[in-house]
């Protein structure tokens, strides 16, 4: 009997360190410390941890927006930040801001053109994504008038306009009401159904527990634990939030 196929890694981080130097007089701050992770293709992967644990830094390194001080990061084998890696990535930063004067449709067309799409293909893709994100009725509205939930959904739509294989979402649920979280969760699940790999950071642990296949717990730039969500919550069906609070102190109540 042949061994079960090893899942392809969409993203790998190997011994990644990242130091920031706030000013030349101050010592550098280590945001990531020898982080090694392998994110399987086609899964939803959650990065959780307290503020300052290095989640957003890790995502920005994968997106090619930051260079690691040491170690390496690859996206389907291409070095992060390279043209090959960028073509396969979509990124939603935390609290995204769109040019206020652009309509949702114009912004998607702009992002699509920057990613190499054009003409009828792009126009069709933009309309399809606006409908998918529940923004068809607001397609011609200026993004400056959008609610937080609408802006986040538009943010997810711009991240996938060029149909990337990997979608990076930094705190997508931040500031959303329960209805907004529900809508966003639907979108994230849809991305997985389309065969994409999703990596998201969030402090909203029920959402992580609900949508993620695997989770990595970071603390002070180091990987504390990584595994399937079931390994964190236990066979008795505990809550991820309970595990998190046990790790970092505090009470579930």
Q: Binding residues for another protein, per CB under 8 A?
A: 20, 60, 63-66, 83, 86-87, 89-102, 110-111, 113-116, 155, 158-159, 162, 168
40 or 93: CB nearest another protein: 93
State the minimum distance, in angstroms, from the CB of residue 65 to another protein. Answer: 4
143 or 202: CB nearest another protein: 143
Task: Name which of 176, 160, 180 is nearest 168 in CA terms.
Answer: 160
121 or 246: CB nearest another protein: 121
Provide CB contacts within 8 A for 25, sequence distance 6+.
none
Helix, strand, coil percent content, the chain, rounded in steps of 5: 35, 25, 35
Counts of helices then strands in the chain (DSSP H, E)? 9, 10
112 or 149: CB nearest another protein: 112
State the minimum distance, in angstroms, from the CB of residue 134 to another protein. Answer: 20
59 or 217: CB nearest another protein: 59
81 or 226: CB nearest another protein: 81
State the minimum distance, in angstroms, from the CB of residue 87 to another protein. Answer: 6
Instruction: Compute the C-alpha angle 176/178/182, nearest 5°.
Output: 95
State the minimum distance, in angstroms, from the CB of residue 245 to another protein. Answer: 30
Task: Name which of 111, 110, 101, 163 is nearest 132 in CA terms.
Answer: 163
State the minimum distance, in angstroms, from the CB of residue 29 to another protein. Answer: 12
Query: C-alpha 176: how far from its chain's center?
Result: 16
Q: b vs e for 166-192, b when ≥16 Cβ sit within 10 Å of the residue's Cβ?
A: bbbbbbbbeebeeebbebbbebbeebb
State the minimum distance, in angstroms, from the CB of residue 116 to another protein. Answer: 6
Provide CB contacts within 8 A for 32, sequence distance 6+.
16, 17, 18, 54, 57, 58, 61, 68, 221
């Amino acid at each position: 009997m042949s061994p079960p196929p090893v899942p392809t890694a969409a993203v790998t981080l190997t011994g990644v360190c990242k130091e920031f130097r706030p000013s030349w007089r101050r010592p550098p701050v280590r945001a990531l410390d020898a982080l090694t992770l392998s994110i399987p293709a086609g899964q939803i992967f959650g990065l959780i941890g307290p503020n300052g644990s290095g989640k957003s830094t890790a995502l920005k390194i994968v997106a090619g927006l930051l260079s690691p001080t040491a170690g390496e990061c690859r996206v389907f084998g291409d070095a992060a930040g390279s043209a090959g890696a960028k073509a396969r990535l979509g990124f939603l930063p935390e609290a995204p801001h769109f040019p206020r004067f652009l309509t949702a449709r114009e912004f998607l067309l702009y992002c699509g053109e920057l990613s190499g799409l054009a003409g009828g293909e792009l126009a069709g893709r933009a309309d399809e994504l606006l409908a998918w994100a529940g923004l068809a009725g607001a397609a011609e509205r200026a993004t400056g008038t959008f609610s937080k939930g609408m802006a986040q959904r538009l943010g997810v739509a711009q991240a996938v306009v060029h149909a990337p294989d990997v979608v990076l979402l930094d705190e997508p649920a931040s500031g959303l009401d329960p209805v907004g979280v529900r809508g966003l969760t639907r979108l994230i699940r849809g991305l997985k159904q389309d065969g994409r790999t999703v990596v998201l950071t969030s402090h909203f642990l029920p959402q992580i527990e609900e949508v993620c296949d695997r989770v990595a717990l970071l603390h002070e730039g180091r990987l504390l634990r990584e595994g399937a969500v079931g390994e964190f919550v236990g066979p008795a069906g505990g809550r991820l939030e309970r595990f998190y609070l046990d790790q970092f102190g505090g009470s579930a109540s």
